[in-house]
Amino acid sequence: MKSFRKLGKNLGVLAVASLVFAGLLALVPLSTSRAGQKGNEAKGKFYFKQTCKSCHIKGEKGGEVTPLNKTQAQWQSYFAKGKHMKGTEPLTKYMTPEQLNDALTFLYNHAVDSPQPETCGK
């Protein structure tokens, strides 16, 4: 009888431990996806140059915008808000959400605090 109770207790501990473990496993993909951007950088660079750069070079109405304008965190929150022109219009006016994600990936990967800071290659 006594050993049965002990077994039960051990199983309980095991169950809790495996729940904790499963919880940790579930957190792993979340934290890696937050660490970087999953879009296509090469496409994003193309979309950015083709579309955004039409207004965002020196002397144009949007002023110069390159990946160096912001930090990685700032680009993420800018695209998460998705508001352009002082919040008056959505960024999706210019691209599909998927294209915006690619553009964000390019900007993020070459942001001012990224391992490879880069202007747009003009």
Site residues (CB under 6 A) for ligand HEC?
A: 51-52, 54-56, 61-62, 65, 69, 78, 84-86, 91, 94-95, 103
Q: How far is the CB of 55 from ligand HEC (least distance, A)?
A: 3
Q: How far is the CB of 101 from ligand HEC (least distance, A)?
A: 11
Q: Which is nearer to ligand HEC, 51 or 71 (CB)?
A: 51
Task: Assign 3-class secondary structure to 60-112.
Answer: CCCCCCCHHHCCHHHHHHHHHHCEECCCCEEHHHCCCHHHHHHHHHHHHHCCC
Q: How far is the CB of 74 from ligand HEC (least distance, A)?
A: 8
CA-to-CA separations, 34 to 51, 61, 79, 108, in angstroms, rounded: 26, 33, 14, 12
Q: Which is nearer to ligand HEC, 10 or 54 (CB)?
A: 54
Q: Which is nearer to ligand HEC, 103 or 111 (CB)?
A: 103
Are the CB atoms for 102 and 43 separated by under 8 Å? yes
